[in-house]
Amino acid sequence: MWTRRQTLRAMAATGLSAALRPSLAQPQPRALLTRPVPSTGEALPAVGLGSWITFNVGDDPVARDACTEVMRNFVEAGGRMIDSSPMYGSSQDTIGYGLHKAALTGRIFAADKVWISSGAQGREQIERSRRKWQVNRFDLLEVHNLLDWEDHLPTLFAMKAAGQLRYVGVTTSEGRRHRDLEQIMRSQPLDFVQVTYNPVDREVEERILPLARDRGIAVIVNRPFRQGALLRALARQSLPPWSADIDCTTWAQFVLKFIVSHPAVTCAIPATTSGAHVRENVSAASGRMPDAAMRQRMIAAVERG
Amino acid sequence: MSEWWTYRLTSFLLFSPRTYHRLFELYNIAIWPAQLAGAAIGVAIVAFLIGHRTHRDRIVAGLLAMCWLWVAWAFLYERYAQINPAATWFAAAFAFEALLLVALCVFAGRAVFAPPRGTGFWIAITLVTVAVVGYPLLAPLAGRSWTTAETFGVAPDPTAIATAAALALVRGRVRWLLLTVPLLWCAITAATLWAMATTSGG
């Protein structure tokens, strides 16, 4: 009979141990669905991380460390885009603390916003945000809720031209100002737009998402869970048995798979305070995805809830 | 604000209930035992309002002003503003209330508290007492730690409630001027608590 040592020596000789090492050492993240940013082709994992409410924890050291763990889990699971805004209280400080503490700075896609009613103060606010994040530059800056977009967009495009920024975008949420958004998407060379989309809030399917595809604009989806309300409502019913066909084990994955399976969507950005939940969220960008018929079943299942 | 009708109260809530209560916990730990001083001031205010003592009006107003100034600085500006940018404005409003109490009541002597009489007086005294003694009990009654308790004199809600009840006893039109900030705060905090209950599924 072969000893364990003999077995390992034989495996080394054949190269088998090297082939098996990753799966024996630790579970590796499954291949994630990525989507190209149309303006550059850069691939982004289809699930990102939001920070609205969840990362606004002030200077509470315990909560800041918990948020750091969320970010660490997110990046280890394969996630990249982290999104914030100067509107989100202390969230930017929390992100900067976590990126620095967990040494994640070079591994993420930093997405932030400019949100101030004076265009002249946009650069100053962006610089304050950058210092809070503790990054050299942002990957993406968006005009938050279209606030003073006429003044802020030229600033962002100038920063992009100067190499101080990689992508430019605008945001709306909860279906507001879609006419304005449409007009901006048609007239400005945007890289990204951010909108609300989930199985209940589907207004963007009519005009915004098709327009984004036509114009080559990446789409970030905010409020995928309606700030948790959608998942709380869905928790009253059990997951449909057929959701196993698209590798869903939770309602959160169910909702995220619905969102990121839309061909125009680049990335959804759910927020959470739990390391386990962030891994579960990221894993929604792996495995089988719903086709058009399945997506209709998903809508029906959610609307029943 | 465009399309203002699409906004709900929860649209303005920037933090979770857990963060809100944790804020009080860290604050209470940092300022201990100032809570005892706040409670003692609250009891003293009740005693002065019930008793017929010399300089009662100026002393009650002065004690209330001290509490409003402390809450403005130590809680609203130093702590709450970390998670709610609007708290800087709340702090200014609390400081303004302290200024009004000092200017109109302590120096100008414009606030004269009604002497003990009638049902209205005792309802006001009961409200002040409940705000001072009963409000801190809400935390353990809600299943939270004592360390998250909100105490008169150092936390805004019981301070505003007790102040509003005490100022309801002031005679004349100056009462409404003095009551404006406390009542506005009661409305703001009620909206905040309601929004937190809604977002947490409560």
- Give per-residue pLDDT as tens, A145-160: 999 999 999 999 999 9
pLDDT score of A272 more than 50: yes
pLDDT category, A29, cuts 50, 70, 90?
low
Is the pLDDT confidence value at A10 over 60?
no
Q: How many CB pairs under 8 A join A and B?
A: 55
Domain annotation covers residue B6: no
Q: Which of A1-10, A83-92, A171-180, A272-281 has the lowest mean pLDDT?
A: A1-10
CB atoms A56 and B14 under 8 Å: yes
Interface membership of A228 toward B (CB under 8 Å):
yes
| pLDDT, greater one: A129 or B56 | A129
Domain that holds residue B135: 31-199
Please give the pLDDT value at position A28: 52
Q: Which residue in this structure is represented by tokens 């959804």?
A: A268
Q: In the predicted model, is pLDDT for residue B109 greater than 80? A: no
Per-residue pLDDT, averaged over A117-127, amounts to 93
- Whether A244 has a pLDDT exceeding 60, the answer reads yes
pLDDT of residue B14: 92
Chain B touched by A56 (CB under 8 Å): yes
Residue B100 falls inside a structural domain: yes
Query: Nearest to residue B1, comparing CAs of A177, A89, A142?
Result: A177
Measured CA to CA, the distance from residue B101 to residue A47 in angstroms comes to: 54
Per the prediction, chain B carries an average pLDDT of 92
Domains of chain A, CATH where assigned: 42-226+260-286 (3.20.20.100)
Q: Identify whether B184 is part of a domain.
A: yes
A190 pLDDT band (50/70/90 cuts)?
A: very high
B5 to chain A: closest CA residue:
A176
pLDDT at A22 over 60: no
Token pair listed for B96: 């303004």
C-alpha B81/C-alpha B99 separation (Å) is: 21
The alpha carbon dihedral of B31, B35, B37, B41 has a sign of: positive
pLDDT at B105: 84
Chain A residues whose beta carbon lies within 8 Å of the beta carbon of residue B26: 60
Distance from CA of B41 to the nearest CA of A (A): 29
**pLDDT of the residue at B118:** 87
Please tell me whether the interface predicted TM-score (ipTM) of this complex is above 0.85.
yes
Flag whether pLDDT at B144 surpasses 50.
Answer: yes
**Residues B7, B192: contact at Cβ < 8 Å?**
no
The pLDDT of residue A30: 67
A34-38, B7-11, B105-109: which range is least confident on average?
Answer: B7-11
What pLDDT is attached to residue B107?
A: 79
Do the Cβ atoms of A90 and B82 come within 8 Å? yes
The pLDDT, as a whole number, for residue B55 is 84
Q: How far is CA A207 from CA A63, A215, B28, B194, in A?
A: 40, 12, 52, 35
Interface test with B, best of A115, A125, A176 (most B CBs within 10 A): A176
Which residues of chain A have a CB within 8 Å of the CB of B10?
227
| Cα separation, B55 vs A192, whole angstroms | 66
| pLDDT at position A78 | 96
Mean pLDDT, to the nearest integer, of A219-229?
Answer: 94
User: Is residue B80 pLDDT above 90, yes or no?
Assistant: yes
Q: How confident is the model at residue B173 (pLDDT cuts 50, 70, 90)?
A: confident
Q: Does the pLDDT of residue A16 top 70, yes or no?
A: no
- B6/A273 CB distance under 8 A: no
pLDDT tens track for A50-66: 999 999 999 999 999 99
φ/ψ (deg, to 5) at A57: -120, 10
Examine the pLDDT at A13 and tell me if it is beyond 60: no
Provide the number of structural domains found in chain B. 1
For A4-18, the DSSP string reads HHHHHHHHHHHTHHH
Inter-chain contact B199–A227, Cβ cutoff 8 Å? yes
Contact B79 A58 (CB under 8 A): yes
A128 and chain B: CB distance < 8 Å anywhere?
no
Burial class of residue A107 in the structure, from the number of CB atoms within 10 Å of its CB (0-12 exposed, 13-18 middle, 19+ buried): middle
User: Does A178 have pLDDT greater than 60?
Assistant: yes
CA A164 to chain CA mean position, Å? 22
Nearest CA in chain A to B84: A89
Residue B146 C-alpha, separation from nearest chain A C-alpha, in angstroms: 18
Higher pLDDT, A2 or B170: B170
- A90: chain B residues, CB-CB within 8 Å: 82-83
Contacts of A175 in chain B (CB under 8 A): 6
**In the 8-state DSSP scheme, what is residue B185?**
H
Asked whether residue B22 is assigned to any structural domain, the reply reads no
Residues of B with Cβ-Cβ distance to A59 under 8 angstroms? 82
As separate numbers, helices (DSSP H) first and strands (DSSP E) second, chain A gives: 12, 9
Q: In chain A, positions 4-43, which contact chain B (CB-CB < 8 Å)? A: none
What's the rounded mean pLDDT across residues A253-259? 97
Instruction: Measure A210 CA to nearest chain B CA, in Å.
Output: 24
Instruction: Tell me the CB-side half-sphere exposure of residue A259, using CA atoms within 13 A.
Output: 32
> Is pLDDT above 70 for B110?
yes
Residue B108 has pLDDT above 50, yes or no: yes
Dihedral angle sign, alpha carbons of residues A236, A238, A242, A247:
positive
Residues B154-181 have a mean pLDDT of 95
Cβ proximity of A296 and A240 under 8 Å: no
Identify the pLDDT of residue B3. Answer: 65
Any domain includes B121 = yes
pLDDT at A121: 94
Q: Using CA atoms, how far apart are residues B94 and A269, in angstroms rounded to an integer?
A: 38
pLDDT-above-70 percentage for chain A: 90
Q: How far apart are CA A65 and CA B174, in angstroms?
A: 49
Q: What is the pLDDT of residue A82?
A: 98
Q: Is the pLDDT of residue A9 over 60?
A: no
pLDDT surpasses 90 at A266: yes
pLDDT mean across residues, chain A = 91
The pLDDT of B8-13, averaged and rounded, is 78
State the amino acid at position A76 in one-letter form.
E
pLDDT of A15 above 70: no
| Residue B2 belongs to some domain of the structure | no
Distance from CA of B187 to the nearest CA of A (A): 22
> What single-letter DSSP state applies at residue A72?
H
Q: Do A59 and B22 touch (CB under 8 A)?
A: no
User: Which three-class secondary structure state does DSSP give residue A110?
Assistant: strand
Residue B137 lies in a domain: yes
Interface list for chain B against chain A, based on CB atoms closer than 8 Å: 2-3, 6, 10-11, 13-16, 18-19, 22-23, 26, 79, 82-85, 199, 201
Whether B86 maps to a domain, the answer reads yes
